[in-house]
Structure 1
Amino acid sequence: MTIFEELTGATLFIETRRRAAEAKGRQDEEKLWRYVRAFNHFVLITGQIYRFEDSLEGKAPAERPSVSANLGKHEGTLAEPAVELLLKTLDETPELEQKQHARLLIALLDFIAGLDSSMRPRTTSSINWTMPRWPSRTSPAKRKPRPG
């Protein structure tokens, strides 16, 4: 399986988890899944996917991955709570494929945290390193009908 296919599968995993959190009214958890999804998309659309793949080479897969000190450099952001959510998901998930998605996403956040600041996605000034500045999508129920 290619890294692109793995990240695409992780996108589906993220969305399933985000929707479950939304359905249960867990807004903080839903926000963290959106955060993870934003960085997954960032790597896919900016070409960083190849650097991410290179960063994975030579690393032995661990049952429960360790998190590097890179994330500690970003105190006060959603990075640490997102990794905690992924580790919790990893511990609670019995399915091997979902465990692999969680491990991949932990490695992804660690990779992004280790990027030079010029390579990281730009963020809004009010929220430090939390969500890239991409247009937010509104749910179909919140969209205004088109005239015509």
Structure 2
Amino acid sequence: MYSERSDQIRFGEWDASDPKHEPCAHEERTVSQMIVHPYVNSDNLQQDVARCGSHSRSISSGQSFDYQRCWVAGFGKDAFGAQGQYSCIQKEADVPVVPQGTCQYQLRQTRLGGDFRLDLRAFICAGGGEGKDSCEGDGGTA
């Protein structure tokens, strides 16, 4: 799906509560075009990616990044559920990419249950280390 946009993208946002508190100045750019993944599913966030402009790099289907370190960042909650608070300061963590089979097995041990099926075409899993992970609200798919 292709659409003409007049939206803005902000690069370098770090403190959403106080734009004067940024360690570096942010930059805003006008989106000239946005290409949304043709199979985006807003109900479960599968394929929730878009390409803006021409400086993005795609990940080809079939590439494996198992056990490599990656960075997650966002303004997500500090705890799951209603008690969690969204952060005004962007957080980041380096986490390992988890093989999809291992990820599905581990997710089946949670409240998702033994019948849970991870969409292996849409999701990549990372994290699981003690004290380092992304928080609710930071998730996404590849």
**TM-score scaled by length of structure 1:** 0.23
Higher helix share: 1
- When Rg is computed on C-alpha atoms for both structures, the one with the higher figure is 2
Q: Relative contact order, CA 8 A, sep 6+: which one is greater?
A: 1
Higher strand share: 2
